[in-house]
């Protein structure tokens, strides 16, 4: 069985390698922002989707080039500039991209994974997920102060089912007061800037940071381990709400947000809150400022340190999570309130970027009997951290290595997690990426995956 598993794994690698070296048709088109600004993906990405310092500035400025450069592609005016003098006797002027600012991302994955089944045997899966995921993006600016970003994702699962989800639908209001970047707002379904730099959409790896985003702390004894999906319990990867963020003195960044939490709106009207603040030493300013800084021509390189703190406070009061104890009795567990506090750091040294988060979580869990009687109320703590190194070996060849650790509450009947994730990406073109990624559970040698991924955007 093991021999067969190895053969299948090698077949998977071989197939992936063939995909890498296949003559992929030339990308005749490039994604929305690249088209609007008539520039390459590499202007903003070290290798998509990971942003380089310039790309980070472009994003934080509401998809505008630092230095207020006009887009190369002239937008369609919805009112001449001089109509500002007429307001409110005329609608305030703005513009939209001259054509539909759409882009697509398609991901093919050859997935080989191994896990321990119920009987203690190794269970393997080998699946050509062609495609695994298709994303339709739209993004651009409208006038001086508004920008937008949306993403519709269709995913095909290995069991034959599929899901379609709006992952992002957001409107940004930029630099509302004066020309600085101190005060900006986002509204909609967003990846919160609380997770700027380590949420899945900004990672060079294909696997997300599960210990940070999918640990489920809700259980009869303080947690049930990793959940199948990004459950939004440990840290939510997507939120619906309003976020205020800004940049001060080119290098200070803050964000605060008010978002829907775990509890359905028809059960409770409570909201969750989050905040983050950090500072960048050296390198390009967060708004793209380069005053007094000499940067190398290779735009993924710089020498800088960004360091900060983040926190999240949420309430799951009223949201029942049904549980069953070892005797078969049923209970409902509510995460009455929970807090997350962490530190973030990102260090660039030329071709190397090392970044990580260390976070502590506290959950006040209320356990109710099936009759609705409060049976128990306890606070539980877990800690988690990760460290990832991204290295540009050559511009088309980039490597990532990540170590993740999670220590659940002592009372929880789940093991601590130690995970290693390694990937090697080869950029056939700036918009076509092939990747081999290996993930291993360091506590259980039979838990691992080896995926070969081909991803392209246009």
Partner 1 sequence: MKRFIPLVVFTLAAMPLLAGDIHGKVVAHGVRNSADAVVYVAAIAGKTFPAPAAHAKVDQKNMQFVPHVLAILEGTTVDFHNSDALLHNVFSPDACADRFNLGTWPQGQVKSFTFKKECFASLLCKVHPEMEGFVAVLPTPWFAVTPADGSYEIRDVPNGAYTLKVWHPTLKAAQKSVTVSGPTEANFEIAK
Contact positions vs partner 1 (CB under 8 A): 67-70, 72, 74, 76-83, 85-86, 90-91, 93, 179
CB half-sphere exposure, 305, CA atoms < 13 A: 1
The answer to whether the beta carbons of residues 194 and 310 sit under 8 Å apart is yes
Closer of 79 and 318 to partner 1 (Cβ): 79
Q: How far is the CB of 39 from partner 1 (least distance, A)?
A: 14
Cα dihedral 68, 74, 78, 83 in deg (nearest 10): 50
CA distances from 398 to 54, 238, 357, 427, 456 (A): 18, 27, 22, 8, 16
Closer of 82 and 394 to partner 1 (Cβ): 82
Closer of 21 and 87 to partner 1 (Cβ): 87
Q: How far is the CB of 352 from partner 1 (least distance, A)?
A: 33
Cα distance between residue 22 and residue 15, in whole Å: 10
Torsion-angle region of 391 (φ positive above 0: left; ψ -120 to 50: alpha; else: beta):
beta
The answer to whether the beta carbons of residues 103 and 121 sit under 8 Å apart is no
Closer of 98 and 424 to partner 1 (Cβ): 98
Closer of 68 and 325 to partner 1 (Cβ): 68
Please count the other Cβ atoms lying within 10 Å of the Cβ belonging to residue 358. Answer: 15
Closer of 74 and 410 to partner 1 (Cβ): 74
Closer of 98 and 134 to partner 1 (Cβ): 98
Closer of 179 and 291 to partner 1 (Cβ): 179
Give the distance, in angstroms, between the CA of residue 399 and the centroid of all CA atoms in the same chain. Answer: 18
- Based on C-alpha coordinates, what's the Rg of the chain? 23
Q: How far is the CB of 266 from partner 1 (least distance, A)?
A: 43
Cα distance between residue 76 and residue 98, in whole Å: 5
The answer to whether the beta carbons of residues 258 and 228 sit under 8 Å apart is no
Closer of 16 and 93 to partner 1 (Cβ): 93
Q: How far is the CB of 440 from partner 1 (least distance, A)?
A: 50
Please count the other Cβ atoms lying within 10 Å of the Cβ belonging to residue 225. Answer: 18
Q: How far is the CB of 247 from partner 1 (least distance, A)?
A: 17
Residue-wise burial string across 8-43, b where 16 or more C-beta atoms lie within 10 A, e elsewhere = bbeebeeebeebbeeeeeebeebbbbbbbbeeebbb
Q: How far is the CB of 68 from partner 1 (least distance, A)?
A: 5
3-state secondary structure 8-69: HHHHHHHHHHHHHHCCCCCCCCCCHHHHHHCCCHHHCEEECCEECHHHHHHHHCCCCECCCE
Q: How far is the CB of 180 from partner 1 (least distance, A)?
A: 13
Q: How far is the CB of 90 from partner 1 (least distance, A)?
A: 7
Phi then psi dihedrals of residue 32, to 5 deg: -55, -50
Q: How far is the CB of 53 from partner 1 (least distance, A)?
A: 20
């Amino acid at each position: 069985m093991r021999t067969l598993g190895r053969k299948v794994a090698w077949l998977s690698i071989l197939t992936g390698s063939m995909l890498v070296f296949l003559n992929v048709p030339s990308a005749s088109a490039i994604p929305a922002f690249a088209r609007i600004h008539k520039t390459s993906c590499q202007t903003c990405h070290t290798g998509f989707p990971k942003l380089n310092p310039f790309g980070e500035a472009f994003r934080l400025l509401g998809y505008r080039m630092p230095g207020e450069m006009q887009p190369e592609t002239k937008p369609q005016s919805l009112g001449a500039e001089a109509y500002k003098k007429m307001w409110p006797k005329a609608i305030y002027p703005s513009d939209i991209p001259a054509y539909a600012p759409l882009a697509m991302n398609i991901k093919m994955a050859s997935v080989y994974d191994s896990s321990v089944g119920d009987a203690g045997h190794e269970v393997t899966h080998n699946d050509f997920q062609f495609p695994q995921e298709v994303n339709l993006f739209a993004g651009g600016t409208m006038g001086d102060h508004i920008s937008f970003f949306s993403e519709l994702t269709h995913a095909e699962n290995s069991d034959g089912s599929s899901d379609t989800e709006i992952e992002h639908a957001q409107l940004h209001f930029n630099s509302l007061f004066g020309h600085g970047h101190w005060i900006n707002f986002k509204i909609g379904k967003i990846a919160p800037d609380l997770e700027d730099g380590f949420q899945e959409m900004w990672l060079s790896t294909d696997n997300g940071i599960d210990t940070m985003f999918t640990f489920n702390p809700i259980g009869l004894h303080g947690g049930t381990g990793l959940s199948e999906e990004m459950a939004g319990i440990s840290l939510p990867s997507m939120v619906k709400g309003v976020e205020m963020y800004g940049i001060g003195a080119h290098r200070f960044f803050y964000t605060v947000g008010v978002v829907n939490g775990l509890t359905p709106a028809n059960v409770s009207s409570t909201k969750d809150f989050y905040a983050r603040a950090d500072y960048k030493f050296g390198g390009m300013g967060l708004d793209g400022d380069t005053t007094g800084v000499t940067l190398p021509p290779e735009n993924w390189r710089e020498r800088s340190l960004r360091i900060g703190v983040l926190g999240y406070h949420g309430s799951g009061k009223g949201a029942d999570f049904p549980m069953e104890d070892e005797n078969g009795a049923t209970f409902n567990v509510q995460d009455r309130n929970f807090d997350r506090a962490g530190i973030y750091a990102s260090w660039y040294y030329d071709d190397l970027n090392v970044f990580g988060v260390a976070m502590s979580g506290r959950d006040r869990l209320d356990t109710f009997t099936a009759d609705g009687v409060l049976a128990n109320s306890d606070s539980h703590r877990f800690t988690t951290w990760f460290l990832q190194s991204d290295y540009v070996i050559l511009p088309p060849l980039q490597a990532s290595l990540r170590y993740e650790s999670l220590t659940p509450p002592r009372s929880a009947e789940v093991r601590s997690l130690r995970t290693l994730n390694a990937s090697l990406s080869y950029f056939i073109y700036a918009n076509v990426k092939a990747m081999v990624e290996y993930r291993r559970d360091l506590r259980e040698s039979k838990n691992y995956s080896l995926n070969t991924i081909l991803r392209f955007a246009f």
